[in-house]
Structure 1
Amino acid sequence: MNSLDYFNARLEATISPMDFLKSNQMDPEKYFLIDVRNGPAHVRSLTIKDANVIPEQELQNRLSEIPKDKEIIVYCWDVWCNTAAKVAKVLLERDYKVRELTGGIAAWQEMDFPVSETAQETIGSDQCGC
């Protein structure tokens, strides 16, 4: 793979927080945003506003909640976390259209974009799985 192919693939597989925010404001029905972070609930108390909370550990049991007619945007903690990439792979293998939000929730918060307190309790373990 040459450099041009790499960057084209990277842009196809990811979306920046700014690009997602703008695009979602223009067409809010286009996307289904998923917070796939694992770990204890107290460290996941904030999520991106309007995100669906489906931890990676629960994904197999909750696939029916994810629409096939929308572009799926997944995110996890930060650039060092690969949980979103693991989830993206699983969804792509099932014919979903998926992109990863670059920088995860850390980049989102750094840009002071809207977050909300999570109201959903999940079963997941206390292990991150990154």
Structure 2
Amino acid sequence: MPSLVREIPAAPSAIALMHFSNRLTFETDCSDVYGSQQAGEVDFVLVDVRGPLAFERGHVPGAINIPGRLITADGLAAYSKSTLFVVYCAGPHCNGANKAAVKLAALGYPVKEMIGGVTGWLDEGFELSVAVQPVVAMPISCEC
């Protein structure tokens, strides 16, 4: 009797290679964003898609705040269509980054999701920037 893991067979290696390679075209992680920032190689616009209050309480350094519901062609007119946007939200429990990515892609921009969002950033041990108060036992909600 196979384990629960092997109950459904793994995909053939060629299919697994295609699947996991494709995923990397849609997402990046907190460590890669942080590493790019530390190396001074920021060739993307990092966008926190949560609401302004959540952004003020704590956001990834270098991020700008564009709540997902406010992503429009007019609002992005200053960015060339080759601008890579990296979007994030509160964390894996929130789909605000996915919704924002859909809007950006529909507007013709390349986009990746920073998987993990704020939760992932903190899990990696990285610090948040705060605009008003430090994040201490305050919920970091989506508001997106």
- Judging by fraction of residues, say which structure has more helix: 1
> Shift in Å at residue 105 of structure 1?
0.7
Alignment gaps of 5+ in structure 1: 120-125
Query: Whole-Å Cα distance in 1 between the matches of residues 122 and 85 of structure 2?
Result: 20
Q: Assess, with a 3 A threshold, how the Cα gap between structure 1 residues 78 and 9 changes in structure 2: closer, same or farther.
A: same
| 2:37 is aligned with 1:24 | yes
What's the counterpart of residue 66 of structure 2?
54
TM-score of the superposition, structure 1-length normalised?
0.78
> What does residue range 90-109 of structure 1 map to in structure 2 within 5 Å?
90-109=103-122
1:67 deviates by 4.7
Q: How many residues align?
A: 121
- Residue 28 of structure 1 and its aligned partner are, at CA, apart by 3.6
Q: Which residue of 2 aligns with 1:37?
A: 50
For residues 22 and 93 of structure 2, the distance between their equivalents in structure 1, rounded to whole angstroms, comes to 19
Task: In structure 2, list runs of 5 or more residues that go unmatched.
Answer: 1-14, 133-140
Contact persistence 1:77–1:104 (CA under 8 A): yes
1:108–1:87 distance in 2 versus 1, CA, 3 Å? same
Structure 1 or 2: more strand by fraction: 1
What is the distance in 2 between the residues matched to 1:77 and 1:92? 20
CA RMSD across the alignment: 2.5
Paired AA for residue 86 in structure 1: K
Runs of 4+ in 1 over 6 A off after TM superposition: none
Counterpart in the other structure of 2:26 = 13
Structure 2 partner of 1:74:
87
Tell me if structure 1 keeps the 8 A contact 2:47–2:85: yes
